[in-house]
Structures are given as C-alpha cells and as structure tokens.
Amino acid sequence: MITTHNLGFPRIGAQRELKFALEAYWKGQSSLDTLKQVGKDLRQQHWQLQSVLDLAPVGDFAFYDQVLDMSFTLGNLPVRVQDFHGDPLDNYFRVARGRSAESAEAHAQCCGGVAAGEMTKWFDTNYHYIVPEFTANTHFKLDASRLLAQLAEAKTLGVQTKPVIIGPVTYLAIGKAKDDSDRLALLPQLLNVYAELLETLAQQGVAWVQVDEPVLVTELTPEWQHAVNLAYHQLKSSRVKLLLATYFGPLADNQYLAANLPVAGLHIDAINARHEIVPLLAMLPAHKVLSLGVINGRNIWKTDLNATLDWLAPIAERLGDRLWLAPSCSLLHVPVDLDSELKLDSEIKSWLAFAKQKLEELQVLATALNHGREAVKVALAVNQVAIEARRLSKRVHNPAVKAVLQTLTPQLRQRQNVYTQRAAKQAALFNLPKFPTTTIGSFPQTAEIRQARRQFKAGELDQAGYQAVMKAEIARSVREQEALGLDVLVHGEAERNDMVEYFGEQLEGYAFSQFGWVQSYGSRCVKPPILFGDISRPQAMTVQWIEYAQSLTSKPMKGMLTGPVTMLNWSFVRDDQPREVSCYQLALAIRQEVLDLEKAGIRIIQIDEAALREGLPLRKSDWKKYLQWAVASFRITANGVADETQIHTHMCYSEFNDIIAEIADMDADVITIETSRSDMELLDAFDDFNYPNEIGPGVYDIHSPNIPEPERMVALMQKAAARIPAERLWVNPDCGLKTRQWAEVIPALRNMVSAAQQLRAQAAL
C-alpha cells in the first residue's frame, strides 16, 4: 500500500483567522490566551482537513514563522533578547517584530528596546522568514516544549502524526554569522541538540520525523556537501526514522549524495525534478522509502491525474510499499480552500485546486494505485474534463496577443539616447535640487481606506462614493508631501489593495480570488492573482489617478507601476507555457500604460521590480537565462518613452553584487533600493562596477516603527557619496510606507527632508 502524507499546511486560516488574532493581540485588544486558543483551533481544523492522509504534519504551525520556531527549539535566540522574561510567546514576538524602548508593553523597563530579527525570503518564494543569527559563541540548547505540546494535542485528536523540523544543514545555511565566523563550525554542537530532539520524539512513540533540507536543491560547495553527509551519519543512530525532504527544484549535483544518506526515506519534488526520479530509482538503496511530491505545492492548477498515474504506475509497481505520495512542498504557499470562492468565474474555478483540493487529489492518486483506477473512475473522469477544457479554452488563448509577441523587435527595448544625454535633458526639465527627495510610492493603508474598499466590493458603496474616498486620500498624501517639502511626489497608492493584485484585476488574462490568501511574513498576506491566459490591457489602469494627483501640485508627480517581472513572480502563473512568454506579454501590456502616462503629461514614471532579484533561480547556473529575459522584459516596458521622461525603478531586500551588470543593463534613469540596514555596504557593488545612472539608496528602514534621526541619515548619505558622485544621488526611504501609520511617516519624512537640506548645505560649502 502507498502511504500518503503532507509536508505542511497553510496556518493563516481559510478566513485569515490567525492574522486577525495576532493583530488584535499586538494591538492590546485581546489576551494571550485568546490568541493561543485560536492557534489551537486552527491546528485542530487543519488536522481534520488532513485526516484523509496516512500521516499529517505536526510542528508546521507557527504563530509567526517556522524558522523562528526552530530557532526557539534549538535555544538559539539572538544575544540581545536572551535575558528577556515573561511569556515565551511574547519573547518570540519581540524577536520577530522588535520593540522600541518607549513601548508601553509589560517588561519594557526591565528588558526594553530591541531590534527586530532580519527577515529574508524563503528560497525562491514570496514567504519571508526570520534569519537565524550565529556567532562563534553560539550555544544551542534543546527546548522541545512547542513540538511536544502540539504532538500531545494531535494524539488526543487521534491524528496519525509525523513531526516536521528544519534540518541542521539548511538551518545553518539560511542563517547568518553576525561576527563572520564559520557557521559550519557550529555543526557538531548543533547535531547533539538534534540527536537529543529526535530521542525526545522517539520517547513519545514517534515513528517518522520529516527533516526538511531544501538546501539540497541549491549548489553546495564540497564543505557543505560534507556537512550533509556528516549530519546524517551522526543522526543515523536515532530511534526514529527520518524522511529527508527536499523541494523547490532538482537535486542535480546533489542527487547521489541525497540518495545515499543513511536515512529511512527521501522526499523529492516530482513537479520540478520529475526527470530525476527514474534515474534516482536505480541509485536508491533497496530499503529506502521514496516520497514523491506529485502535486504542485507552489501553484493552484488542478493536477492532470490521469497523466500523473500513467507516469506513476510503473514506479509504484517497482517500489511497492516503499512509495509515498505527497504535495511537492509544504502547502504554505497556496491558499486554503477553493470552496470558499463564490465569485470566481465557474469555468476558471473548475481548473483550480487549493490546499484542501490538493489533498483530495492526492487521495485519488493513492486510491487509483492501491485499488485500481476503477475505484476512482468518476473523480478521474471529472478531472480529465477540466484538464481538457483548460487546454482548449478560448479564454486562455488570444491569437492577437500571440501575434504581437511574434513581432518583438530589439528597437522596442532601446531608449532613444544614452543615459548621459537623457540626464541633461531631464535636469533642464525638472530643475531638481541636489540630493532630491522622494518616497517609494505607497503611503499608509489606513483602516478607512480598507473599509471603503471592503464596502465597495460588498456593494455597500458605489463607484462614485469609492472614488471620492480614494481621491480624498490622494489629496491628503499630496498635501502632506508638499508640507514636508519633498521634491518628487507620489499619489500614495490608496486605491491599490496590493501592488500586484491591483494590476492583475485590470489585465485581461488574469483572474482573482476572494480568499486566496497566502502568508508573506508574520500576519501579512498577499492574494496572488491568477495568470491563466494571454495577457492584454483593455484600458488604462492608473492614468486617471495619477492625472488627478498631478493636478493638485506643481511638483513632479511620479507615475507608479509594477513591472512585468514582479507581476510574474508574485502571481500564480500558467504552467502551460514558459514563464518568459508570460513575462513578455506582461511587458507589452505595461508598456502601453507607460506610454499613456507619458501622453497624459506624467514625466517621471517608476516601474517597480521588487521581485526581480528575488526571482533568481536557486541555482546560479540558471541565472543567465532568467536575467536575459527578465531584463529584456523590463526594457520593453520602460524604454518606449522620450529622453525627457525619467524612468525610475525600485527593488527591496536586495543584494546586488552578483547581478550589478544586469541591473545597469536595465538602464533605468534612477534606481531606488533598500540599503539602510546594510549601512550602505550594498553600494560597494555599484561603486566597483562604476554604475552609470542615478541611485536612491534607502536611508531608513520602513519595517521599524522607530523614527530615524536626521544625523543618521546624513551619515548614511555621506557614506553613499563616498562611493557614488553626489550629483547622481537621491534621498528616499528603503521601501513603500503602506504598512506604517501616518503618525510615524510624517516625523520620519520630516527628518529625511531635513537630512537632505543639511547635505545640500554641506555640498554648497
């Protein structure tokens, strides 16, 4: 018999129950007990939904982040919070979110202000984890309380469980040595704690433990490969069986290593590494379980069950009981339940599967293999109809779009003249001061804005009423910016639910859900729009809003768009054509918007590519190909404008050293980037490369509620000016301000403008 299991379930809740419970608790509107109860209820519901499986995960639930949970399990808290007292969950939130010394919370006096842990994206997903911190003195100490409590909970409910933990090598690999010490030197000590953890679980009668080592799908140096070997040879004496889980890509060079580790089972992503499975069968020791991730855990399309069975049947024959089936990765990256979607077009809905539906698919596959396809004849037939309908649908294929794509010429990507010529014309037109100030686009998404949008969507507020509220917000943003004395203004993005979803809602070829929430970090979620067909732009998307904003001021108003690569990387995308084809289609659609903005007299246009750097393939050997079409797409979008029109782009959470040539090749007149947390070190890349165009290195971290001091921002800009000629520097925050409050934004920007004034005064000396 085939065993079915799951690697992880989305924990935010089908109606984002966890988000609302967390935010209520953080605002002091509910108790810790209430929050813990919500967590418990969600775990119970999620196990219930997974009861069709032979093994359900335990330990995949996290109140903020599963990596931070693991840090607590290993007793690896940053030094700055180690003497905290109070409830462990409060301390956990302090590490996650930081706390200012002025905070009104309990313990603010005795264990006061603390910086939040650094956040970075989890492999190539839009999920962000709290980076484990190490030093040469890091000492690990087991705290299994969370896992044991959840295990006990599951047992009471009669769930067949499989605890899930992050593996030791991945844990070290995704963390950061704060003192530049060698993280691998910590491995022997870390392994002792893992061994202790596994023994603790064995004592609870646990049979299998899933150990996630996604680092195996990246390029590993010999030292890291050796670490993998060392780790699992040391853990092999454990009394539990280990299922080593890899996902997000092929094992490639690590295949032999992974196949021969002394563990009882290996999980492979059979969506992204299908071609590796058959060769792997020959390599796999005869006793080992092979778990195949045959349902896509990163996308929302129905699985072609018949095709999957055709491929699986001989493998199942060969492996017998040793075959396990699962989604390719944790279902954290997909929404919970398609059944909640009552407004989604029924045809498109019939092509989709969310987490709950994916588990049902898994069940059908296992039944077909265990008992014959006859046993699930109806389910297979229904699936077949949906797969065929999608393949042939006229709504997916638009001949006009495909025809335009055939005519892409290199001229489309080329601006009329080089940067230096453009810059001279732009300087004459805008007449900006030195160190011009601007912001990245969004201003606070206030409760009023969200409420108006909710009422509009629910039909309680009509179009005119909604537009009036949004216009009032835009007017407020413009007023505030003028009062602050900023040089290049933005409209504030009040009308946008999200920088990606907003455009998805307006483009042909996209569908969007009501409840398709996916966690991005902590309590923050995104609802990735569903790119299902050929993309076109029926009408202008932003022009009216920007024109309105420009009408309120004589200062330049930046047009604000999301670029093609970011649209692609933060959407659920088609699996029936290469990503680059979808990207070029997006590029052409957004190019039209750029040209329409220009026609409307908007002379500065920002095209955000926040996800361009983040979308890099996990293996460096695949970078070149990706960057080639990603940069080409951006250039198609941006480069149709006159020399006088200034193109900005923006990227955040980025590291540029290894792709600086491609960033330069995007040829934006101005790029704004996140730099404040790295103390401008990031700019070394721009300096070494002799980056030719203008740069706005972020001078303050928008993730923190703290108000940045002018002195610190001046100092940061001076550091920047040591690397980049001052004539080419802009002054701006790290990223958009939508998650902040106006009460934080105003003083922060006031200080930023004051910093710019000081810099100008110094420059004039």
Ligand X SMILES: Nc1nc2c(c(=O)[nH]1)N[C@@H](CNc1ccc(C(=O)N[C@@H](CCC(=O)N[C@@H](CCC(=O)N[C@@H](CCC(=O)O)C(=O)O)C(=O)O)C(=O)O)cc1)CN2
Find all residues with CB under 8 Å of 269, minimum gap 6, and list them. Answer: 217, 246, 247, 248, 249, 250, 293, 328, 329
Cα 117–Cα 122–Cα 124 angle in degrees, nearest 5: 145
Q: Which residue has the tokens 């939130």?
A: 93
Tell me: is residue 547 an annotated ligand-binding position.
no
Q: How far is the CB of 174 from ligand X (least distance, A)?
A: 17
Find all residues with CB under 8 Å of 271, minimum gap 6, and list them. Answer: 293, 294, 295, 296, 297, 298, 328
CB 673 within 8 A of CB 652: yes
> Which of 610, 636, 641, 752 touches Zn ion (CB under 5 A)?
610
CB nearer to ligand X: pick between 501 and 580:
501
Counting contacts by CB under 6 A, is residue 520 touching ligand X?
yes
Counting contacts by CB under 6 A, is residue 669 touching ligand MET?
no
Q: Which residue has the tokens 């909604």?
A: 466
Q: Nearest residue to ligand MET, using CB?
A: 736
- The binding track of 104-143 with respect to ligand X, each residue x by CB under 6 A or -, is ----------------------x-----------------
Q: Is the dihedral of CA 474, 480, 482, 484 positive or negative?
A: negative
CB nearer to ligand X: pick between 5 and 703:
703
CB nearer to ligand X: pick between 510 and 570:
570
Q: How far is the CB of 441 from Zn ion (least distance, A)?
A: 8
Span near ligand X by CB under 6 A; candidates 132-140, 367-375, 419-427, 519-527: 519-527
Tell me: is residue 683 an annotated ligand-binding position.
no
Tell me: is residue 652 an annotated ligand-binding position.
yes
Tell me: is residue 608 an annotated ligand-binding position.
yes
Distances (CA, A) of 168 to 189, 195, 211, 221: 11, 10, 9, 16
The DSSP element (H or E) to which 162 belongs, if any, is strand 161-166
498 binds, among Zn ion, ligand MET, ligand X, none (CB under 5 to 8 A by kind): ligand X
Tell me: is residue 111 an annotated ligand-binding position.
no
Counting contacts by CB under 6 A, is residue 343 touching ligand X?
no
What span, in angstroms and rounded, lies between the C-alpha atoms of 678 and 676?
A: 5
520 binds, among ligand X, ligand MET, Zn ion, none (CB under 5 to 8 A by kind): ligand X
How many of the chain's residues bind ligand X (CB under 6 A)?
19
Distances (CA, A) of 474 to 553, 715, 734: 11, 32, 21
Tell me: is residue 361 an annotated ligand-binding position.
no
| One-letter identity of residue 547 | E
Count CB neighbours of 360 within 10 A.
14
Cα 410–Cα 669–Cα 671 angle in degrees, nearest 5: 110
Please, what is the end-to-end C-alpha distance for the chain in angstroms? 81
Distances (CA, A) of 210 to 55, 199, 705, 747: 11, 14, 38, 48
| One-letter identity of residue 45 | Q
What span, in angstroms and rounded, lies between the C-alpha atoms of 729 and 670?
A: 9
> Which of 228, 245, 268, 652 touches ligand MET (CB under 6 A)?
652
Span near ligand MET by CB under 6 A; candidates 175-183, 593-601, 733-741, 749-757: 733-741
CB 115 within 8 A of CB 81: no
What one-character DSSP code corresponds to residue 556? Answer: P
Burial of 578 (0-12, 13-18, 19+ CB in 10 A): exposed
What one-character DSSP code corresponds to residue 247? Answer: -
Cβ density class 5-37: b for 16+ within 10 Å, e for less: bbbbbbbbbbebbbbebbebbeeeebeeeebee
Pick the catalytic residue from 5, 267, 648, 703: 703
Q: How far is the CB of 572 from ligand X (least distance, A)?
A: 11
Active site residue 703: yes
Q: How far is the CB of 513 from ligand X (least distance, A)?
A: 11
> Which of 445, 672, 676, 751 touches ligand X (CB under 6 A)?
445
Residue 598, beta-bridge partner list: none
Counting contacts by CB under 6 A, is residue 454 touching ligand X?
yes
CB nearer to ligand X: pick between 17 and 508:
17
525 binds, among Zn ion, ligand MET, ligand X, none (CB under 5 to 8 A by kind): ligand X
CB nearer to Zn ion: pick between 586 and 735:
735
Coil, strand or helix at 148: helix
> Which of 738, 740, 748, 759 touches ligand MET (CB under 6 A)?
738
- The binding track of 469-508 with respect to ligand MET, each residue x by CB under 6 A or -, is ------------------------------x---------
Residues 577-636 touching ligand MET, rule: CB under 6 A, are: 608, 610
> Which of 735, 748, 749, 752 touches Zn ion (CB under 5 A)?
735
> Which of 12, 154, 228, 440 touches ligand MET (CB under 6 A)?
440
Q: How far is the CB of 679 from ligand MET (least distance, A)?
A: 21
Counting contacts by CB under 6 A, is residue 327 touching ligand MET?
no
Tell me: is residue 333 an annotated ligand-binding position.
no
Binding-site members for L-homocysteine are 440-442, 493, 608
Binding-site members for 5-methyltetrahydropteroyltri-L-glutamate are 16-19, 121, 524-525, 570, 614
**Which positions are catalytic?**
703
By CB under 6 A, name the binding residues for ligand MET: 440-442, 499, 560, 608, 610, 650, 652, 735-736, 738
